[in-house]
């Protein structure tokens, strides 16, 4: 994935989302955090099902960061089990709706059964025309370090060679990065790719995020003037 988005019609092709606020959504309702994450998966499902009319080529979701291992064992188990359930229940939907699954991050070090499920899902969705990239065990600094190490194997460390070795090398340039829940930081997500992306921070907690919120973000994006450092 190169540095500068190329589309000229003002339309976003690639949106990434830091899905934040599941825990606070649950806390506000005196519910366990696990329920917040469950509702978070429902928000993911709604969004993926509503993607078609939005004309996006790629949606990237931050589902599990390399820092999320610091959470309690039971919360990590809940998140991994939700992942298993999500792949199992939604894979037929992806295939039927022309969605190509992509995984970014150090996902091959996850539990072997999850790795197997993901490999199968990648294979089954390989011909889809719209990409859904899920970041799993993902950290942006680690991604850049891995890409630079690969570039160095060929003695060629340039921004182009690093970009060509990022996990996102076969995704369109990132146009818009959204974070929910009112937090204003990147949390090690798509650090390289965000170089020229627009940013949108919304107060909505992730379980309350609806396709209409994304549609609004896309229409705001289309109004923004992007200069990529020029005038």
CB closer to ligand FPP out of 147 and 190:
190
- Contact between 61 and 16 (Cβ < 8 Å): yes
The verdict on whether 68 is a catalytic residue reads yes
**Under DSSP, is residue 138 helix (H, G, I), strand (E, B) or coil?**
strand
Q: Which of 1, 16, 34, 44 binds ligand FPP (CB under 6 A)?
A: 44
Q: H or E element: which one contains 222? A: helix 211-223
User: How many other C-beta atoms are found inside a 10 Å radius of the C-beta of residue 148?
Assistant: 14
Q: Is 56 in the site for ligand FPP (CB under 6 A)?
A: no
DSSP states along 84-118: HHHHHHHHHHHHHTTEEEEEESSGGGS-HHHHHHH
The verdict on whether 97 is a catalytic residue reads no
CB closer to ligand FPP out of 5 and 23:
23
CB closer to ligand FPP out of 14 and 33:
33
Q: Which of 58, 86, 107, 197 binds ligand FPP (CB under 6 A)?
A: 86
Q: How far is CA 36 from the centre of its chain?
A: 18
Q: Is 24 in the site for ligand FPP (CB under 6 A)?
A: yes
Residues that bind ligand FPP (CB under 6 A): 19-24, 37, 40-41, 44, 61, 63, 68, 79, 82-83, 86, 134, 181, 206
* Residues annotated as catalytic (active site), given as ranges: 20, 68
């Amino acid at each position: 994935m190169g540095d500068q988005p190329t589309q000229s019609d003002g339309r976003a092709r690639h949106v990434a989302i830091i899905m934040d606020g599941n825990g606070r959504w649950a806390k506000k309702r005196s519910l366990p955090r696990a329920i917040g994450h469950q509702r978070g998966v429902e928000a993911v499902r709604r969004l993926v099902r509503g993607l078609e009319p939005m004309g996006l080529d790629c949606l990237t979701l931050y589902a599990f960061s390399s820092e999320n291992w610091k959470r309690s064992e039971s919360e990590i188990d809940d998140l991994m089990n939700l992942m298993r359930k999500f792949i199992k229940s939604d894979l037929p939907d992806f295939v039927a709706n022309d969605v190509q699954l992509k995984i970014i991050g150090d996902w091959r070090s996850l539990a072997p059964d999850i790795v197997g499920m993901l490999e199968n899902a990648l294979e089954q969705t390989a011909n889809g025309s719209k990409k859904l990239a899920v970041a799993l065990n993902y950290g942006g600094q680690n991604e850049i370090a891995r890409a630079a190490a690969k570039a160095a194997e060929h003695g060629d460390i340039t921004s182009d060679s690093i970009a060509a070795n990022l996990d996102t090398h076969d995704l369109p340039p990132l146009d818009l990065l959204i974070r929910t829940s009112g937090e204003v930081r990147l949390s090690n997500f798509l650090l390289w790719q965000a170089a020229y992306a627009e940013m949108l921070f919304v107060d909505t907690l992730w379980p309350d995020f609806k396709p209409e919120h994304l549609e609004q973000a896309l229409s705001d994006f289309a109004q923004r003037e992007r200069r990529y450092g020029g005038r």
